[in-house]
Structure 1
Amino acid sequence: MWALLSRNEAQPPLNPDLSFLAISFLTLEAVLEVVIICFAGFMAAKTKLLSTAGQKVISQLNVDLFTPCLVFTKLAPSLSLNKMVDIIIIPIFYAVTTLASLVCSRVMSNFMSLNNAESDYVTAMAVFGNSNSLPVSLTMSLAYTLPDLLWDQIEDDDSDKVASRGILYLLIFQQLGQILRWSWGYNKLLRKRSPEELSGYQLETEAEISVGSDDVESSRASSSSRQANDSEEENDSLLTNRKQPIVETITAEQSVLSQIWYSKPVQGFLSFMNPPLYAMLISIVVASVPAFQKEFFYNDSFIQNTLTKSIDQLGSVSIPLILIVLGSNLYPSADIPAPSRNYKKIVFASLVSRMILPSFVLLPLIAICVKYVNISILDDPIFLIVAFVLTVSPPAIQLSQITQLNGIYQKEMAGVLFWGYVILTLPTTIFIVVTSLEVLKWAT
């Protein structure tokens, strides 16, 4: 899909009056791109080529290696200090859409009487929409097909530039989503939970009681061992005192460094970070220093021809692997824990909170802003298309990685992705593209 960016000649819109059937066909093509790769993963699981253990290994490898490479190669060359100022509206738009989805998810969770863990899962499904595979494919197709997407503020604007701007907007939205997904989503909403948390109640089990008795026994054993070692410690202290002046300075330095390293702010930051977030941080640093950015991406340098190309090759593996694992998750496996008792409620609440309810708030708001607020990129036609598509996009595919790594709600994840991508995506996307074209006519 990214190869479309490398077209050498600008292509004018193919159909000045795009029919409803043509829009439907374009949407179908974009959806089928995802479905076909997922089907390959489904068949790999069905034929026992890819086991549940293998899926977890692939997911972990993707999170720790391939996804960070993808983030770096897509974000670092696309940003600059000037562009960061121009696209300030995107973080604001992301915050508004996230807040709307969060409120919708909490309303649906309360309506469905879900417990805290289930409510957090529904919230994750609602706030983390797909801004990668499906929206990218659809945006690329529409940029070269729909009429009236040229921006009058860009000199000699053409379909290639329209597509590049659409991809840039999506990239920024993706990275904002990645930051929140791998921090708040990974560490809070979809974190590992005990069976008691998942079922919604806490019980004092025999295991907890036995832990208490074990603590008593261990304390007795430790006190007796301390008495036995007292004499040895007295002898060792004589030798230690002789060496103390020699190592006193080193010990003091190590103590200071140790205090800094184990301080709450540092440990909190380290626990918050993960490989994709480190990649985003490095990308922002490279993008903020023009000399670094040119050396990595534009000067045909040794670094670009070796390190950058290697990272790019690794990053290109990420999305196909995500889709393969997604497809394999759709195959019923005995290794995956059974669904929760509120399976249907969770799936229904997730889809409504993600793909339906937020649109009633966000679509009119976006249309009004595009019509009356002429700042930043709001009057760029492709931004309207991207904003509308993102509003009703299904849950992010990468959420299947997180649920698999943390071992929670894997059956529910498969249900959400099946209904979201196979059933709902086609009609909702057709509706949203047609609506965006009508709003574009009204706004201009």
Structure 2
Amino acid sequence: MIDLSIAKPTSFRVNNALANWTPDAAMMAMENSHDSHPSIDHLILLVFEAVLEVVCVSLPGYIIARLGHFDADKQKFLANLNVMLFTPCLIFTKLASQLNADKLIDLAVIPFIFVIQTAVSYLVSICVSKAFRFGKRPANFVTAMGVFGNSNSLPISLVISLSQTLKGLHWDRIPGDNDDEVAARGILYLLVFQQLGQLVRWSWGYHVLLAPKSRYAEYQDETIEEGRYRDDVPRDGVLIPGLDGNVTETDDHNDSDGSDESDVYEPAGRTPVAGTSVASPSDSDDETSVPRKRSAGKHDSGIHSPNSHSVTAGPGDMTLFPRMQDLSDPDIPSGLEGYYVRTCLRIKSAVVSIKQRIVQLSTRAYKALPTPIQSGLARVWGLWLRVYNFLWEFMNPPLWAMLIAIIVASVPDLQRLFFQEGTFVNNSVTRAVSQSGGVAVPLILVVLGANLARNTQAQETSDPEEQQIGKRLLIASLISRMLLPTIIMAPILALFAKYVPVSILDDPIFIIVCFLLTGAPSALQLAQICQINEVYEGVMSKILFQSYVIWILPSTLVLVMMALETVEWAL
């Protein structure tokens, strides 16, 4: 178990170090300053091994895709399957086994570091865009590439690999710490960063930074002409479907550009809800989601999607689960099957009858109350409906898994039930969930390789602006994501590790995770958003190839070296 208790005060550590300082001690410290990590040559080899492991897992997907056996629909299906099943299993096993109620407090430093990283990347991208003299739309594209880094597939694979190859990552606060515990803690930290990034990516990123061309006033005339003369040619699948999280399409996009709903790629990833239609993987497509609007009259309580801003909360609508639909009787067969169907129908009919009776009684009781109390109850009920709709629009399988994991970790009896060796639940349920979670990372990388195979193929663009500034966009995006944020964040992270008295800042794998995220390539989901909104798709493909194939090895080497030096300096 992790000891995330508050570290000793900084003043104590500094005063203690000064009290014990002597010239001989200083000389010995200089001689032994690099004993905790390998020499530079050996470190290069270890990092190369970690990156090569990622490449080896991704390579089969690349080869199969180049041979034509791994098309976009199959990639879409596997990505959705990973988001819906394997990634939630990974999240649950790693979080629920590592956390408890006391340790959740120390993890509060992660959102603070995330905000700083996001702000630094945002300011850097603005400065780079001004230096390249980009307009608003290309500047927003560079900002999206700089702010939203990959916090799921590649960093998780690197952390797992580095935990097995690099020595000196064991935390002295944990007796008997081992490589598996190091990897589990690294994944835990990454998952928290991932969910924070998902929130911003599919709100600010989708609707503002990577909005369709029609949202910009200076492109209005151009988009009108394109809409007038555009042929109705079906669009290809997304570049990176469903990786690093999940997303569902929104009708807001259709309303803005006038495109037909069949032209918009809708990924799966929404938890199925009674009374709502869930698109199949063939129709739709991982560190969150864009809400899908629902039409009025779809639910028996008259409740609309929060996107429509029309939530009714009349007394006759006060049902706890407003999305339940009335059931229609199917054709009843004969024999044993018919008996089973009739029994189910009787049960459902009884449930519906009880529900209607409860509604009638609650309506009658509501109308008997004084008007001020009715108004208060109506406001409370309206708030409940908004929370209910928000949860079902916002939540997705990875987030549900995180919520369940936090609940299990916060209740010691539940945590022991699931993770104590020898219990029935541990030997059955937990072991099955752990096996499913082990599939998540390899499957992500296989699909990544398949998508990179598509990105290496020649792609033509009909956007004159993209043809004119595409190379400059590529360079600006790489600088904004993989170079300048690392230069600025490195001293900030070092100061945090040295002087902020929070225990996880003493964990070597946490420092490595923070450094990896400062210079990680752009998030894979950005390619999906660019495909949906038709935003510089050719440039996006080149960015993915450059960052994930060309620059990943030197970038990872520099980031790991800086992280290890920071760990040594902060001791």
What do the CA deviations read for 1:277-308 (whole angstroms, capped 9, x no partner)?
Answer: 22211211111112222222225333333332
**Segment of structure 1 superposing worse, 259-268 or 371-380:** 259-268
Are residue 92 (structure 1) and residue 112 (structure 2) matched? yes
1:58 corresponds to: 78
1:275 corresponds to: 397
Residues 128 and 165 (structure 1), Cα distance of their counterparts in 2 relative to 1, 3 Å cut:
farther
SS at match of 1:39: helix
In structure 2, how many angstroms separate the alpha carbons of the residues matched to 1:277 and 1:335?
A: 37
Equivalence map 1:28-427=2 (5 Å) = 28-112=48-132, 119-139=139-159, 142-143=162-163, 149=169, 151-155=171-175, 160=178, 164-165=181-182, 167-168=184-185, 170-190=186-206, 194=212, 196-197=214-215, 201-203=219-221, 205=224, 250=359, 260=382, 263-332=385-454, 338=461, 341=466, 342-397=469-524, 411-427=538-554
SS at match of 2:560: helix
Give ranges in structure 2 of 5+ residues lacking alignment: 1-34, 229-254, 256-355, 367-377
Residues 200 and 60 (structure 1), Cα distance of their counterparts in 2 relative to 1, 3 Å cut:
farther
- State the Cα distance separating 1:363 from its structure 2 match: 0.8
In structure 1, how many angstroms separate the alpha carbons of the residues matched to 2:545 and 2:44?
A: 20
| Alpha-carbon contact 1:120-1:190 (below 8 Å) kept | no
| TM-score between both structures, scaled by the size of structure 2 | 0.58
Matching residue's letter, 1:164: E
In structure 2, how many angstroms separate the alpha carbons of the residues matched to 1:137 and 1:34?
A: 6
What do the CA deviations read for 1:129-172 (whole angstroms, capped 9, x no partner)?
Answer: 344454445445555665655555445x55x16x624641x334
Matching residue's letter, 1:290: P
**Segment of structure 1 superposing worse, 328-337 or 359-368:** 328-337
In structure 2, how many angstroms separate the alpha carbons of the residues matched to 1:193 and 1:151?
A: 44
Residues 278 and 410 (structure 1), Cα distance of their counterparts in 2 relative to 1, 3 Å cut:
farther
Residues 318 and 350 (structure 1), Cα distance of their counterparts in 2 relative to 1, 3 Å cut:
farther
What do the CA deviations read for 1:96-150 (whole angstroms, capped 9, x no partner)?
Answer: 2222223223333444455666555544443343444544454455556656555
Q: Which has the higher contact order (CA 8 A, sep 6+)?
A: 1
In structure 2, how many angstroms separate the alpha carbons of the residues matched to 1:350 and 1:331?
A: 21
SS at match of 1:190: helix
- State the Cα distance separating 1:352 from its structure 2 match: 1.7
Give ranges in structure 1 of 5+ residues lacking alignment: 1-14, 212-246
In structure 2, how many angstroms separate the alpha carbons of the residues matched to 1:63 and 1:336?
A: 28
In structure 2, how many angstroms separate the alpha carbons of the residues matched to 1:252 and 1:343?
A: 65
* Aligned CA-pair RMSD: 4.0
Residues 364 and 72 (structure 1), Cα distance of their counterparts in 2 relative to 1, 3 Å cut:
same
Higher helix share: 1
Residues 56 and 173 (structure 1), Cα distance of their counterparts in 2 relative to 1, 3 Å cut:
same
| TM-score between both structures, scaled by the size of structure 1 | 0.73
In structure 2, how many angstroms separate the alpha carbons of the residues matched to 1:145 and 1:55?
A: 31
SS at match of 2:504: coil
| Alpha-carbon contact 1:127-1:354 (below 8 Å) kept | yes
In structure 2, how many angstroms separate the alpha carbons of the residues matched to 1:337 and 1:187?
A: 29
What do the CA deviations read for 1:392-420 (whole angstroms, capped 9, x no partner)?
Answer: 22234455566667776654443222211
Residues 439 and 316 (structure 1), Cα distance of their counterparts in 2 relative to 1, 3 Å cut:
closer
* Aligned residue pairs, count: 391
What do the CA deviations read for 1:16-53 (whole angstroms, capped 9, x no partner)?
Answer: 67222211111111111222222222222211111122
- State the Cα distance separating 1:312 from its structure 2 match: 2.5
What percentage of aligned pairs have identical amino acids? 38
| Alpha-carbon contact 1:116-1:200 (below 8 Å) kept | no
- State the Cα distance separating 1:364 from its structure 2 match: 1.0
In structure 1, how many angstroms separate the alpha carbons of the residues matched to 2:459 and 2:357?
A: 55
What do the CA deviations read for 1:151-200 (whole angstroms, capped 9, x no partner)?
Answer: 55445x55x16x624641x3343222332333321344136954534997
Residues 251 and 83 (structure 1), Cα distance of their counterparts in 2 relative to 1, 3 Å cut:
same
| Alpha-carbon contact 2:477-2:543 (below 8 Å) kept | yes
1:232 corresponds to: none
